[in-house]
Amino acid sequence: MREIGKPHPRLPLPAEGQEDDPQRFLAWLGEAIPMVEHLGIREMRRDGQRLVWQLALTPSLNDKGTGFGGALTAQATLLGWCWTTLWLRRRGLARDVVVAEASQRFLAPVTGDYRFECEPEAEVGPENLALQLAQKGRGRITLVQRLWCGEVLCLEARSNYAVLAASS
């Protein structure tokens, strides 16, 4: 059980040249952030620079029987945090990541199970983040998260994530 004010132990970094096992990462995430087990995440996979979640709608239903905006916003924020954390881990970096800014546009009701996709807003975003980390020891990246019900775009979010300097 998590304790308030006490950080959860980090997941050990994958071996050099290896990627995180998505199921292992999601299991750790559910321990580190207790609400994760209630989000309905069925699958997580990487597709190039894009991180994709498949989700069940049922845990995020609102009183109208569609997706609850607060739950969807939390998912968008967490998906971007995961994108940034996994990007760092692939580079052998265990660093703290925080969301600095976030905005959402709700475009259509979420009426069934859905997928959330996250990718850098700019193609050069990851390269710029790597440069910032090398030069200043910290950096930022802007990501875009899109929620799709089939072929219908229901939500688009933009979030800026800060990678904090390594603690000494």
Count of domains observed in the chain: 1
pLDDT of residue 168: 58
* Residue 3 covered by a domain: no
* Residue 129 covered by a domain: yes
Distance of CA 53 to the CA centre of its chain: 9
- 20 φ/ψ angles, rounded to the nearest 5 degrees: -65, 140
* Residue 16 covered by a domain: no
44-68 mean pLDDT: 96
Cα distance between residue 119 and residue 146, in whole Å: 9
- Mark 134-146 as b/e (b = at least 16 C-beta within 10 Å): eeeeebebbbbbb
Residue matched to tokens 């475009």: 107
134-162 mean pLDDT: 98
Q: Percentage of residues in the chain with pLDDT exceeding 90?
A: 93
* Residue 6 covered by a domain: no
pTM of the model: 0.95
Q: Is the pLDDT of residue 114 over 80?
A: yes
* Residue 12 covered by a domain: no
Q: Percentage of residues in the chain with pLDDT exceeding 70?
A: 99
| Per-residue confidence band for 15, with pLDDT thresholds at 50, 70 and 90 | confident
Q: Is the pLDDT of residue 164 over 90?
A: yes
Q: Range of 68's domain?
A: 22-163
CATH number, domain of 97, equals 3.10.129.10
* Residue 39 covered by a domain: yes
Q: Residues with Cβ < 8 Å from 128, sequence gap 6 or more?
A: 122, 139, 141
Q: Is the pLDDT of residue 19 over 80?
A: yes
* Residue 96 covered by a domain: yes
pLDDT per residue as tens digits for the range 79-107: 999 999 999 999 999 999 999 999 999 99
